[in-house]
Amino acid sequence: MNYKRPKADVVIVGLGWSGSTMAEELTRAGLKVVAIERGAWRDTSTSFPTTRDPDELSGSVRKDILQAPVTETYTVRNKVGQTALPMRKYHNLTLGNNVGGAGTHWAGASWRWLPFDHQPYSHVMQRYGAGQLVDGLILQDWGVTYNDLEPFYDRFEKIAGTSGTAGVINGQRQPGGNPFEGSRTSPYPTPALERSRANVLFAEAATRLGYHPFPVPSAMIGAPYKNALGLNLAPCTYCGYCQLYGCGNWSKSSPNICILPVLMQRPNFTVVTECEVIRINTTPDRKTATGVTFVDSDGNIGEQPADIVITATFTLDNTRLLLLSGISTPYDVASGQGVVGRAFTFQTLSWGFMFFENEYLNPFMNTGALATQIDDFNGDNFDHTGLGFIGGAGIQSLSNQGLPIGMAGLLPQGSPQWGKGWKQAFRKGYQNYAQIQGQGTSFAHREQFLDLDPTYKDRFGQPLLRITFDYNENDRRSGRFIRDKCVEIAREMGATQVGGDSFADRPYSGYTPWDSSHVQGGVVMGEDPRTSVQNRFQQNWDVHNLFVIGASSFPNNAGYNPTVVVGATTLWTAKAIRDLYLKNPGPLVRL
Amino acid sequence: MKRRDVIKGGLVLMATSTLASIYKPAYSKTYVGGTGAWRATPPPPLSVVDASRLVYLTPDEAKLVGAIFDVLIPADELGMGATEAGCVTFLDHQLAGPYGTAAKDYKLGPVVEGLPQQGPQSIMTPAEIYRKGLVELEQAAHAKFNRSFMELSEEQKITFLHGIENGAIAFETLKSEQFFVLLLQNVREGYLADPMYGGNRDMVGWKLVGFPGAIYDYRDWIVSKRGKKIDVHPVSLLGRA
Ligand SMILES: Cc1cc2nc3c(=O)[nH]c(=O)nc-3n(C[C@H](O)[C@H](O)[C@H](O)COP(=O)(O)OP(=O)(O)OC[C@H]3O[C@@H](n4cnc5c(N)ncnc54)[C@H](O)[C@@H]3O)c2cc1C
Ligand code: SF4
**What are B168-216's pLDDT values in tens digits?**
999 999 999 999 999 999 999 999 999 999 999 999 999 999 999 999 9
**A140 pLDDT more than 60:** yes
**Residue nearest ligand 1's atom 3 by CA:** A106
Whether the per-residue pLDDT at A240 is higher than 90: the answer is yes
**Coil, strand or helix at A252:** strand
pLDDT average, residue stretch A366-373? 98
Q: Which helix (H) or strand (E) holds A482?
A: helix A473-492
* pLDDT value at residue B25: 67
Q: What mean pLDDT is predicted for residues A387-402?
A: 98
A92–chain B nearest CA distance, Å = 11
Ligand nearest to the CA of A315: 1
Mutate to test the interface with A, among B22, B27, B117 (most CBs of A within 10 A): B117
Task: Describe the strand order of the beta sheet including A442-445 as a list of residue ranges.
Answer: A137-138, A442-445, A556-557
Nearest CA to ligand 1 atom 41: A277
Burial of A125 (0-12, 13-18, 19+ CB in 10 A): middle
Confidence of residue B38 (pLDDT cuts 50, 70, 90): confident
Which pLDDT score is estimated for B7? 44
Closest Cα to atom 8 of ligand 2? A247
Query: Quick check: helix, strand or coil at residue A467?
Result: strand
CB A397 within 8 A of CB A201: yes
CB spacing of A238 vs B188 below 8 angstroms: no
SS3 state of residue A366: strand
pLDDT at B3 exceeding the cut of 60: no
Query: Would you tell me how many other CB atoms lie within 10 Å of the CB of residue A489?
Result: 26
Residues in A 334-353 with any Cβ partner in B closer than 8 A: none
Task: State whether B76 and A423 contact (CB < 8 Å).
Answer: yes
When pLDDT is cut at 50, 70 and 90, the band that residue B22 belongs to is: low
**What phi, psi does A462 have (nearest 5°)?**
-95, 150
Q: Decide if A511 and B230 are in contact by the 8 Å CB cutoff.
A: no
**Which residue type sits at A243?**
Q
Selection from B156, B134, B133, B158 nearest residue B146 by Cα:
B156
What is the least distance, in Å, from the CA of A275 to any CA of chain B?
6
Angle, vertex CA A46, rays to CA A41 and CA A49, nearest 5 = 130
A275 close to B (CB below 8 A): yes
Residue B23's pLDDT is: 59
In which order are the strands placed within the sheet that holds A463-468? Answer: A85-86, A74-77, A463-468, A449-457
Residues with Cβ within 6 A of ligand 1?
A 13-19, 36-39, 94-97, 101-103, 105-109, 243-244, 276-277, 312-314, 317, 368-369, 517, 550-551, 561-564, 566
**Integer Cα distance of B110 and A58 in angstroms:** 30
Nearest CA in chain B to A300: B6
Residues 6+ apart with CB under 8 A from A126: none
**Residues in B touching A62 (Cβ below 8 Å):** 99
Q: Report helix angle B176-192 to B87-96, nearest 10.
A: 110
- Residue A503 CA to residue A137 CA, distance in Å, equals 19
Q: Which of A62, A417, A460 sits opposite B3 (nearest CB)?
A: A460
Contact by Cβ (8 Å): B206, B200: yes
Chain A residue with Cα closest to B183: A418
Q: CB B208 to CB A297 under 8 A?
A: no
Counting ligands in written order, the one closest to the CA of A222 is: 2
For A173, how many CA atoms within 13 A lie in the half-sphere containing its CB? Answer: 7
DSSP structure string for A163-174: B---SEETTEE-
- Tell me the pLDDT of chain B averaged across its residues: 90
Q: Chain A window 14-43: which residues touch B at a Cβ cutoff of 8 Å?
A: 27, 40-43
Give the CA angle between residues A364, A436, A363 to the nearest 5°: 10
Model confidence at B24: pLDDT above 70: no
Q: Tell me the sheet residues that pair with A169.
A: A172, A184
Element housing A374 (H / E): strand A370-374
Contact A98, B133 (CB under 8 A): no
> What does the pLDDT read at residue B26?
67
H/E run at residue A127: helix A120-127
- For the CA of A315, the closest atom of ligand 1 is 26
Å from CA of A163 to ligand 2 middle: 13
Active site residue A384: no
Report pLDDT digits (tens) over A452-500.
Answer: 999 999 999 999 999 999 999 999 999 999 999 999 999 999 999 999 9
Tell the residue nearest (CA) to atom 2 of ligand 1: A106
Please check the confidence at residue B5 and state whether its pLDDT lies above 70: no
B11 neighbourhood in chain A, CB within 8 Å: 278-279, 301
Burial (CB < 10 A; 0-12, 13-18, 19+), residue A61, is: buried
Residue of A69, A73, A264 with shortest CB distance to B31: A264
Residue-wise pLDDT tens digits, A23-56: 999 999 999 999 999 999 999 989 999 999 999 9
- DSSP class of residue B11 equals H
The continuous run of DSSP H or E covering A502 comes out as strand A497-502
Q: Which of A238, A271, A296 sits opposite B25 (nearest CB)?
A: A296
At A417, is the secondary structure helix, strand, or coil?
coil
**Do β-strands A433-440 and A269-273 pair in parallel, antiparallel, or remain unpaired?**
unpaired
Integer distance in angstroms from the first to the last C-alpha of chain A? 44
Task: Report yes or no: A406 and A60 within 8 Å, Cβ to Cβ.
Answer: yes
B chain contacts of residue A86, beta-carbon cutoff 8 Å: 106, 108
**Contact between A327 and A286 (Cβ < 8 Å):** yes
For a mutational test of ligand 1's pocket, the pick from A313, A322, A538, i.e. the residue with the most ligand atoms closer than 8 A to its C-beta, is A313
3-state secondary structure of A213: coil
Give me the residue from B10, B219, B228 closest to A360, CB to CB. Answer: B228
pLDDT of residue B35: 87
pLDDT greater than 80 at residue B13: no
pLDDT range class, residue B21, cuts 50, 70, 90? very low
The protein residue with its alpha carbon nearest to ligand 1, atom 52, reads A106
Helix-helix angle B154-165:B59-72, to 10 degrees: 90
Q: Tell which residue, A424, A414, A405, has the closest CA to residue B77.
A: A424
Ligand 2 center–CA A186 separation, angstroms: 25
Phi, psi of B230 (to 5 degrees): -115, 120
Phi, psi of B186 (to 5 degrees): -70, -35
Please work out whether the CB of residue A220 comes within 6 Å of at least one atom of ligand 2: yes
Confidence of residue A15 (pLDDT cuts 50, 70, 90): very high
What separation in angstroms does the CA of B94 have from each of A140, B47, B90, B204? 50, 14, 6, 20
Instruction: Calculate how far, in angstroms, residue B217's C-alpha sits from the geometric centre of ligand 2.
Output: 9
- A197 in B contact zone (CB under 8 Å): yes
Q: How confident is the model at residue A71 (pLDDT cuts 50, 70, 90)?
A: very high
Cα–Cα distances in Å, from B210 out to A327, A361, B21, B213?
56, 11, 59, 9
Specify burial of residue A417 (Cβ count, 10 A radius: 0-12, 13-18, 19+): middle
Q: Which residues numbered 496-535 in A keep a CB inside 8 Å of some CB on B?
A: 506-511
Q: Of A91, A105, A118, A518, which is the active-site residue?
A: A518
CA distance A246 to B76: 37
Please give the domain boundaries of chain A with CATH numbers for all domains. 2-581 (3.50.50.60)
For residue A127, report the phi and psi dihedrals to the nearest 5 degrees.
-85, -40
Cite the beta strand spans of A210-359 per DSSP E.
214-215, 225-226, 232-233, 269-273, 276-282, 289-295, 301-311, 348-355
User: Whole-angstrom Cα distance, residue B179 to residue B167?
Assistant: 10
Q: Is the dihedral of CA B175, B177, B178, B179 positive or negative?
A: positive
Nearest CA to ligand 2 atom 3: A252
Average pLDDT over residues B73-102: 98
- Of B28 and B125, the structure prediction assigns the larger pLDDT to B125
> What phi and psi values does residue B192 have, to the nearest 5 degrees?
-120, -5
Q: Which of A106, A157, A517, A548 to mutate to test the pocket of ligand 1 (most atoms within 8 A of CB)?
A: A106
Residue B14 has pLDDT above 80, yes or no: no
Q: Do A405 and B212 touch (CB under 8 A)?
A: no
For chain A, what is the total number of helices (H) and then of strands (E)? 13, 25
Q: Is the CB of A233 under 6 A from ligand 2?
A: no
CB-based contact, A222 to chain B, within 8 Å: no
Which residues, other chains included, contact A424 with Cβ-Cβ below 8 Å and sequence gap of 6+? B78
- What does the mean pLDDT of chain A come to? 97
Kind of pairing between the strands at A8-13 and A33-36: parallel
- B contacts of A100 (beta carbons < 8 Å): none
Q: What percent of chain B has pLDDT over 70?
A: 88
| Interface predicted TM-score of the whole assembly (ipTM), two decimals | 0.96
- CB–CB contact A70 B105 (8 Å): yes
- Does A239 sit in the ligand 2 pocket, CB within 6 Å? yes
* Residue-wise pLDDT tens digits, A504-525: 999 999 999 999 999 999 999 9
Query: How far is it, in rounded angstroms, from Cα A588 to Cα A144?
Result: 14
Angle between helices A563-576 and A146-160 (to 10 degrees): 110
Distance from CA of B66 to the nearest CA of A (A): 14
Length of chain B: 241
- The per-residue pLDDT for B80 is 98
| Per-residue pLDDT at B20 | 36
- d(Cα A496, Cα A491) in Å, to the nearest integer? 8
Res. B96 pLDDT band, cuts 50 70 90 = very high
Residue B51 is which amino acid? A
Residue A247 pLDDT exceeds 60? yes
CA of A589 to the centre of ligand 1 (A): 28
**pTM (predicted TM-score):** 0.96
pLDDT of residue B11: 43
Count of all residues that appear for chain A in the document: 591
Instruction: Decide: B182 and B126 in contact? Cβ < 8 Å.
Output: yes
